[in-house]
Amino acid sequence: MKSQLASGFGVSATTSCGRLFDAAAAILGIRTEVTYEAQAAMELEHVATSWANAHPEASLPQVGSYQELVEKLGEVDRPVGERAWAFHVGLAQLLGEQACQVAEQADTKTVGLTGGVALNRMFTRHFVSFLGEGGCRVLTHQNVPPNDGGLSLGQVWAAVLGAC
């Protein structure tokens, strides 16, 4: 594994979205302290989903950068639920665009979505949609959880195979 990491061969680029959702929840005043993993993210998703369900006619927000995404969180003239929804959609759009660019550079049309963020239904739905519009196919978890449970299972399987 050390040689793989050093060479970059067979190593996937990843990102962690959890802290972004925590930050958005704090900026919006939804949750500033957490007592369990993903608490702020789940509450942010709940607020966003409630707003989206009450406003099905809302057109999808478009953001051009991460700075713009964060600035939209501070638009206090808009309801908190709308800003929470715009954060989910905007982040899915930005990451979807980046994923399609990386996939194109790697000469593939397949992208995997994993990690705790894959448990967020709103984010995942929009991410898959944006990637589909970009001509990419998204692999999501079907039989193994996308969060630490799946990671643990993968580590056990790697140990069984003698990879570690």
pLDDT by residue (tens digit) across 61-112?
989 999 999 999 999 999 999 999 999 999 999 999 999 999 999 999 999 9
Angle, helix 121-133 to helix 39-54, in steps of 10 degrees: 70
Class of domain 1-163: alpha beta
Is the per-residue pLDDT at 164 higher than 60? no
pLDDT value, residue 3: 66
Q: Is the pLDDT of residue 115 over 90?
A: no
Query: Do 130 and 103 contact (CB within 8 A), yes or no?
Result: no
Of 12-21, 23-32, 106-115, the range with the highest mean pLDDT is: 23-32
Q: What is the DSSP string of 31-62?
A: -SS-SSTTHHHHHHHHHHHHHHHH-TTPPPP-
In this structure, the dihedral spanned by the alpha carbons of residues 111, 83, 47 and 25, taken in order and rounded to 10 degrees, is 80
Q: What's the pLDDT at 158?
A: 82
**Residue-averaged pLDDT of the chain:** 90
Section 21-49 average pLDDT? 96
pLDDT on residue 162 = 79
Q: Is residue 158 classed as helix, strand or coil in its secondary structure?
A: helix
* Cβ 17 vs Cβ 90: under 8 Å: no
- Residue 23 confidence (pLDDT): 94
Which of 84, 27, 45, 80 is closest to 61 using CA atoms? 84
> Does 31 score more than 70 pLDDT?
yes
| Domain boundaries of the chain, sorted by first residue | 1-163
